[in-house]
Structure 1
Amino acid sequence: MSKDKKKESNQKQELSEWQKRNQEYLKKKAEEEAALAEEKEKEKQARKEANSKLLEESKKSSSESDEEASSPSKELSEKEEKSQKDDRKVKEGKEKKKKEKPEKPAKPKIAPVHIWRAVSILVPSVLVLLLSVYLLTPLSTIKNIEVKGNSNTQADDIKQASGIQDSDYTLALLLDKETYAERIKSNHWIESAKINYQFPTNFTIEVKEFDIVGYYVSGEEYYPILSSGTVE
């Protein structure tokens, strides 16, 4: 029995020592964990402080930029207000001047009848003026005359029979072609004559001669007898 009691007492002493060691270990571990927790809290606080500082700095910079942006806008708005006021003053001054100036009386409209009367007078007068200027220039007497259809008569003889002179006006020949054509018939060889006009100054005399129906012999000379009965 005494031996068993000794063993139990020895076991109790050993357990108490192990418990002490375990308690010491647990205390150390708890202290270490507490120290780690404190360090973590300190780090968190430091981070919070750094973040708060960054936020404050960003707020300050944004407020400064807003102030800088608002200052030119304010200046622009002030300038716009001044310009608007100036424009209003100018408009008011113009309106006052318009009111002060007497309105000009409206010009009377010209009736269409008077316009047509003026045109009917001006146009003929202008045409007469141009015609008179044309007749005074050498251009009014330029004529190119060509003879066609003649075989027994000379072109110069036909022109001479027509009575056309170099000094005659081209316009007169154009207006009186039939009279000049009748004059050509004074030549015994010519049965008919016609004068044609081509712009600008070309005239063509077309003639038809009498046919030769026989010859009259007088000695050694022969005289043609025309279909008109005349002897040339």
Structure 2
Amino acid sequence: MAEASSLTSTIDRHFLECVICSDTFNDPRALPCMHPFCCECLERWAKSCSDDNSIVSCPLCKKIYRIPEEEGIKGFPVHFLVTNLQDTVYRAKQEKSSADYCENHEGKKREYFCENCGCAACSDCCALDPSHRGHSFIRLKQASERLSSSLENIARRVGNIEDKYTTAIQQTQQVKQNLDQDTDTKIQAIDEARNEHMQQVDNLVRAYKHNAYSKKEQNVKTIGTD
């Protein structure tokens, strides 16, 4: 099962290592751009991005995001794609030692892959086991290469989905920003209109008061001359 070991090592190296610490992900968190990082690594990185620890930039794509106020970096969601892949690789490593040799034919290494059953097999399985009669076999190395190619295709599709998700988030954020700006503009216009009307009312009140005092003085003068 050297091919399987090589495959899990490749997955570890390309998909399960944090770019900040270059080690296996520990509590991987997903930024809105869907790039994964260790929670502690991201916390340290955030301190270098802002004095008040309010924003963080993605170490990969450099996009800037506001850190959740209440939970901090832990407010970003767990990257379940990474954790699920970690679980899969862990199980594969745990099963490797027992999977090297055939459980039905002692001392025989599993060097083939049954395409009908989807399982590894030894030479005796291929030639003697009735349950594999008429089945198609290929070398494990060839099966591993096919699986590697399939994983690469999956990774590309996931990348495309992440790009679409990121674009949708950016568009949503832009719509929100436009709404905020439109609301601020309207509120400012309302305040300006209110101030203008209040000024007009104040001017009108002063004019009425001045007119009232003027009439009072005229009446007083009239009464005095009489």
Scaled by the length of structure 1, what TM-score is found?
0.34
Scaled by the length of structure 2, what TM-score is found?
0.35
For the pair shown, the structure with the greater C-alpha radius of gyration is 1
More strand by share: 1
